[in-house]
Amino acid sequence: MENFKNYTAQFFSNKLIQSLIVIIVSFLIYHLIKHFLLGKKTLNNKMNKKSKTYVKMLVSILRYTFIIVTSLVILQINGIDVSSMLAGVGIVSVIVGLAIQDALKDIIRGISILSDDYFKVGDVVQYGDVEAKVLELGLKTTKIKDIRTLNIISISNRNIEQIQVVSHSNDIVIPFPYETDIEKADTIISDIIEDIKKLEKIEDSFSKGICELAPSSLNYMINITCKPEDKPQTIRDALKLIVIGLRKHNIEIPFQQIDIHTK
């Protein structure tokens, strides 16, 4: 029994074993907290978009905190005086600041996005030519999912300058030949809108009237509203109904015409 105690004492006094135990315990505690905060029931049933964003930011902060604390404890276990290192932080702070200035910009920008409530997890945003759903807002990066290709994109927070939150409103132009009777065109538009309203993911649709006297067509505009993440498929479905509606009333979709004059 005494030998077993001595063996156990020697085993746990090994610095490598102590370091591994610290890593394992830290890993388990972090993932328990993460599971508690990001559990499906918690996120789906109890929180709105803003709350989800705050929770995911908190998890991001906890991750970096656990990494730093665990690293310091392991250094202390292996005979490195952490207190002396911390005391010397002021000396190297300028060098470190220059080395991590991009990371600091990401963190500051991430906090600014969150505090200003510019966008939240679950919002659909436009970044360049991409319309995507915000999956995660972290300290350094924001992850978005392209609603057209479903590709996951990770963006450094410092690069999110011109990002826009996509609205539910979408305009579609319907061209009519100039010879079409105005009252008939209005009736056709009304019929098309009624068909569009029957689409599963449509919130509303209405006519905006004539929007342009184009060179080869009289253009009407209709508006459809739907969730931004449903926009690509909903617009495709609406365009199909527009073509069917025009053909139903024997209206040929105008194409661009060029007049050539010869002597």
Furthest CA-CA distance within the chain:
117
Beta-bridge partner residues of 126: 131, 164
Q: Return d(Cα 185, Cα 176) in angstroms, integer.
A: 8
CA distance 35 to 129: 35
What pLDDT does 3 receive? Answer: 53
Output the pTM of the full model.
0.57
pLDDT at position 190 over 60: yes
- Please answer whether residues 157 and 110 qualify as being in contact, where contact means their C-beta atoms are separated by less than 8 angstroms: yes
Q: Which residue has the tokens 């690293």?
A: 71
pLDDT digits (tens, 9 = 90+) for 121-178: 888 888 888 889 988 877 778 889 998 888 998 888 877 777 888 889 999 999 999 9
Q: Name 156's Cβ contacts closer than 8 Å, sequence gap at least 6.
A: 102, 106, 140, 141
State the pLDDT at residue 94: 46
34, pLDDT greater than 80 = no
Residue with tokens 């527009």: 242
Give the tens place of pLDDT for each residue, 241-260.
999 999 999 988 887 655 55
pLDDT bin (cut points 50, 70, 90) of residue 98 is very low
